[in-house]
Amino acid sequence: MKRIPFILCLLFAMLAAHLRAQELNCTVTINSDQIEGTNKQVYETLKAGIEEYMNQNRWTNMTYAEHEKIECNMLIVVKSVADNMYTCEMTLQSRRPVYGTTYTTPLLNFKDNAFNFTYQEFDRLDWQQNQFTTNLTAMLAYYCYLIIGHDQDSFQRLGGTPFFEICEAIVNTCQSASMDNLENRGWLAFDSNRNRYALINNLLDEAFKKYRNFYYEYHRMGLDEMSANVTNGRARIAEGIPVLREAYRARPATYVINTFLDAKAEELVDIFQKGTDKEKKAVYDILMDIDATRQNTYDRMNE
């Protein structure tokens, strides 16, 4: 039997690694401007550790080519540091390409006001599913699966469910873990209606299944259709928009609709500025009904 030359074996191994590429391409920025007189190098170390954790771990059994990695970015603003406890705010954004175009659409734009964790420089960030290690690694894993779940929901009806269920399991694990009160924030059911618990609770609630179906239709039958027929794609989005108002009226405090509009408000304006008068009026009235605080944004739809 002929032996395969070493260089071919190496090429095959590199190709296999490429085909099994991890799911995320996440860029992390840490803003420590509010912290004075501390070792700034620790933030570079933390940034590198978080990026390695999110981008080098494999979070699913799915195969991602390099160009299919989910583009996302995380901004961590450090508010205070005391005894290795970091009190922070974090904003997470993810996006995906729209079929047949160079445009990328935002999928997630989420702000966590309780991104608090203990950390010492060079701490190893390890993730073990179903086992609590640190609050930082738990939060990061939660957000990795949240990103993947939204991406999958945009390509397949309810395709994100398995990943949202992992988020739910992380929430349950963290609720029973022993940690500082600052770290507990965000995981608790009654701590806030705008936290990690509330968001995943909404996403897995049967009451919001229509919303998640609309999320799929918005992307696959709306945006992805626009490269072939802009009018049809826009009409499909306009047809589904009333689902947002139905969900809002059923549960006015719901968080998932807010997160959708945080990501999509500007995009909706861009889409319907070129719509028919009937589409503009219908969509504008719904958005103003559920999200009047962004009136200045939605007013541009009619310019």
Task: With beta carbons less than 8 A apart as the criterion, state whether 55 and 24 touch.
Answer: yes
**Mean pLDDT, the chain, integer:** 91
Residue 124 pLDDT? 92
DSSP class per residue in 222-244: IGGGTTT-HHHHHHHHHHHTHHH
Q: Read off the pLDDT of residues 141-160 as tens digits, 9 standing for 90 and up.
A: 999 999 999 999 999 999 99
Using the predicted structure, report yes or no on whether residue 15 has a pLDDT greater than 80.
Answer: no
Residue 18 pLDDT? 39
Residue ranges per structural domain of the chain: 6-204, 209-302
Helix (H, G, I), strand (E, B) or coil at 25: strand
Tokens 């310019």 correspond to 303
Statement: the pTM of the whole predicted model exceeds 0.85: yes
Residue type, 64: Y
Closest CA to 62 of 155, 139, 170: 155
Q: Read off the pLDDT of residues 18-34 as tens digits, 9 standing for 90 and up.
A: 334 699 999 999 999 99
